[in-house]
Amino acid sequence: MVRPPLSSWDRERGRQLGRLLREARGERSMVDVAAACGVSVDTLRKIETGRIPTPALFTVAAVAATLDLSLDTLVAACHDNHVADAPPDSSGLIA
């Protein structure tokens, strides 16, 4: 199965997620946070800079838990204000 290309909305949402995680990390080193949540420093860096705009759920969950963030908080903060403009996914739901 071929994955469809990401939209500009998907990419912006990934950048928002990265900014939120970077801000939540604060003064903690990237090495310390990556080690605590079991991901590589390179993966954490790519998520924080938006180079991985759609990281795996369990990766985001591990980083969020390490930073004491709820997934609900992240989803709400990354939710685009123009949801009506977002294309529906294959199930017919807004992504």
pLDDT digits (tens, 9 = 90+) for 21-68: 999 999 999 999 999 999 999 999 999 999 999 999 999 999 999 999
Question: Do residues 48 and 18 make contact, with C-beta atoms less than 8 angstroms apart?
Answer: yes
Provide CB contacts within 8 A for 77, sequence distance 6+. 16, 20
Q: Where are the domains of the chain?
A: 8-79
Stated pTM of the model: 0.79
d(CA 29, CA 25): 8
Q: What is the pLDDT of residue 79?
A: 77
Please say if the pLDDT value at position 92 is more than 80.
no
What is the CATH architecture of 8-79?
A: Orthogonal Bundle (1.10)
Q: What is the pLDDT of residue 36?
A: 97
